[in-house]
């Protein structure tokens, strides 16, 4: 692992100017001239690959332009991520799996939408920042391929019984009688002392970007090794007993909502965001919503669609009538989870009616309030809980399989 540190130092020396980075993005023929950072089962990963990914990791969450020091701090994590992706794609190749370019474009569009832009705009922003969009596309390719492999191998085998749901529901009901915290996590896996040192410096760089406005959810999806990465790091409402001692101590010591300093544990480093705190037995208002979104920001199309909708039952069919309209069900949502503005919009809207139009992810949207339940228990629905338990188990299996691949692989750090 000392060699990884040497790689990081070398990368910093080689990324002295923004001009050199911009040339990386437009002239891929130079990659072999810059040397090899690692070889994974005879497949090389270049220094330029790692430098591109380091910058991408910091930019993709929507933060400010990273400094040279921040890029240096994240290079170790970038290299490990590229190694994982190489192994994931190699495993997918065993099943003759090909990922259609349209799927990758769709994943890029989804990511861009979270940042309030389009896929083309995101790629242009990356190019302007000296990042080849191919780095993002390869990341998406590996992610799609690996999820498909894991779902194909294990998805149908995972069974969540009613008893498991009952047990988890009871644990959550008991936890609701204690003080709870709404927490999100980013976890950088680092199983030994040397890699933890790298993870600590990487966490500092990520934290700085988050403080400058980067989106925590996107950062978790792109960087975190925890199963919650799929949900943007969201751990939900949890009691201190649900957390490891070091994490529980940090959360309980937080004086107000916000980001916590990196927390080092035996297996890696955590970045936590404490969003809220609630006292025991605090009743909530739950709502069933239908969200109607116009992706190109056309208020005229949105208003025309709303004129055709007479009840919640009409939202999906009207959304299907135009390509720029999308509908989504948001069932049994605690209104507090919508944030202050979203909560106020929903609370001021009668059942069966639409909220005022609001900006959302680069477009415009409204929410139809289909049902409201005041004084409800702060618990998820059984269907949501069953899906969450299944996703958690699949995430743990995926993590275990990837670590097995690393143990069996020949990985040479240069």
pLDDT of residue 304: 94
Task: Give 22's pLDDT tier (boundaries 50, 70, 90).
Answer: very low
- Calpha distance 300→306 (Å, rounded): 10
Residue 261: phi, psi to the nearest 5?
Answer: -65, 155
- Mean pLDDT on 378-389: 80
pTM of the predicted structure, to 2 decimals: 0.64
Task: Give 373's pLDDT tier (boundaries 50, 70, 90).
Answer: confident
Candidates 1.10.10.10, 3.10.50.40, 3.30.70.100, 3.30.70.1230; CATH matching 172-281: 3.10.50.40
Given a cut of 50, whether residue 197 has pLDDT beyond it is yes
Q: What is the 3-state secondary structure (H, E, C) of the chain?
A: CHHHHHHHHHHHHHCCCHHHHHHHHHCHHHHHHHCEEEEECCEEEEHHHHHHHHHHHHHCCCCCCCCHHHHHHHHHHHHHHHHHHHHHHHHHHCCCCCCCHHHHHHHHHHHHHHCCCCHHHHHHHHHHCCCCHHHHHHHHHHHHHHHHHHHHHHHHHCCCCHHHHHHHHHHHHHHCCCCEEEEEEEEEECCCHHHHHHHHHHHHHHHHHHHCCCCHHHHHHHHCCCHHHHHCCEEEEEEHHHCCHHHHHHHHHCCCCEECCCEEECCEEEEEEEEEEECCCCCEEEEEEEEEEECCCCHHHHHHHHHHCCCHHHHHHHHCCCCCEEEEEEEEEEHHHHHHHHHHHHHCCCCCCECCCEEECCEEEEEEEEEEEEEECCCCCHHHHHHHHHHHHHHHHHHHHHHHHHHHCCEEEC
Digit-coded pLDDT (tens) for 139-174: 999 999 999 999 999 988 899 999 999 998 888 878
Given a cut of 80, whether residue 306 has pLDDT beyond it is yes
Contact 328, 360 (CB under 8 A): no
- Give Cβ neighbours of residue 348 (< 8 Å, ≥ 6 apart): 355
- CA-to-CA dists, residue 316 to 290, 299, 324, 368, angstroms: 8, 18, 13, 11
Q: Which residues pair with 360 in a beta bridge?
A: 363
Give the position of tokens 């994974």: 40
- Calpha distance 29→31 (Å, rounded): 6
pLDDT of residue 310: 92
Domain 284-376 has CATH 3.10.50.40: yes
Residue 7: phi, psi to the nearest 5?
Answer: -60, -45
Given a cut of 50, whether residue 66 has pLDDT beyond it is yes
Tokens standing for residue 199? 């993870």
Tokens standing for residue 35? 């040397």
Q: Where are the domains of the chain?
A: 2-156, 172-281, 284-376
- CA-to-CA dists, residue 302 to 3, 317, 327, 345, angstroms: 56, 14, 12, 17
**Poorest-pLDDT segment among 231-240, 252-261, 364-373:** 231-240
Segment 99-103 long-range contacts (CB within 8 Å, at least 24 positions apart) = 99/141, 99/144, 99/145, 103/144
- CA-to-CA dists, residue 185 to 141, 179, 261, 346, 372, angstroms: 24, 19, 12, 28, 30
Return the CATH fold of 2-156.
Answer: Triger factor/SurA peptide-binding fold (1.10.4030)
Share of residues in the chain with pLDDT > 70 (%): 88
Looking at per-residue confidence, does 179 or 374 come out higher?
A: 179
- Given this chain, do its domains 2-156 and 172-281 carry the same CATH topology? no
Nearest to 192 by CA among 80, 54, 71, 39: 80
């Amino acid at each position: 692992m000392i060699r990884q540190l040497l790689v990081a130092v070398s990368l910093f020396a080689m990324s002295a100017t923004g001009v050199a980075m911009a040339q990386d993005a437009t002239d891929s023929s130079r990659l072999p001239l810059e040397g090899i950072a690692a070889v994974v089962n005879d497949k090389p990963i270049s220094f330029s690959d790692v430098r591109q990914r380091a910058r991408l990791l910091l930019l993709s969450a929507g933060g400010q332009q990273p400094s040279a020091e921040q890029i240096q701090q994240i290079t170790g994590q970038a290299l490990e991520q590229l190694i994982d992706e190489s192994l994931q794609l190699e495993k997918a190749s065993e099943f003759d799996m090909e990922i259609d370019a349209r799927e990758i474009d769709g994943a890029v569009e989804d990511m861009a939408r979270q940042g309030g832009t389009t896929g083309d705009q995101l790629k242009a922003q990356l190019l302007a920042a000296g990042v080849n969009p191919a780095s993002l596309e390869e990341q998406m390719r590996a992610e799609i391929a690996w999820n498909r492999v894991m779902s194909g191998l294990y998805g149908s085998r995972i069974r969540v019984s009613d008893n498991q749901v009952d047990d988890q529901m009871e644990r959550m009901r008991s936890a609701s009688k204690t003080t709870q915290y709404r927490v999100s996590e980013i976890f950088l896996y680092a199983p030994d002392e040397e890699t933890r040192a790298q993870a600590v410096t990487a966490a500092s760089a990520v934290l700085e970007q988050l403080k400058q406005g980067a989106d925590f959810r996107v950062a978790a999806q792109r960087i975190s090794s925890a199963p919650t990465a799929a949900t943007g790091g969201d751990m939900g409402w949890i009691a201190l007993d649900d957390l490891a001692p070091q994490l529980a101590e940090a959360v309980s010591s937080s004086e107000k909502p916000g980001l916590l300093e990196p927390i080092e544990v035996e297996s890696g480093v955590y970045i936590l965001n404490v969003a809220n705190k609630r006292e025991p037995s605090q009743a909530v208002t739950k709502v069933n919503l239908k969200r109607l979104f116009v992706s190109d920001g056309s208020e005229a199309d949105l208003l025309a669609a709303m004129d055709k909708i007479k009840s919640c039952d009409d939202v999906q069919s009207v959304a299907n009538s135009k390509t720029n309209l999308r509908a989504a069900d948001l069932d049994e949502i605690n209104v507090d989870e919508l944030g202050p503005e979203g909560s106020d919009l929903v609370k001021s809207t009668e059942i069966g009616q639409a909220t005022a139009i609001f900006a959302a992810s680069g477009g415009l949207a409204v929410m139809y309030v289909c049902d409201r339940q005041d004084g409800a228990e702060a618990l998820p629905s059984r269907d949501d809980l069953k899906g969450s338990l299944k996703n958690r188990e699949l995430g743990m299996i995926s993590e275990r399989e990837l670590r097995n691949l690393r143990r069996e692989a020949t990985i040479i750090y240069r």
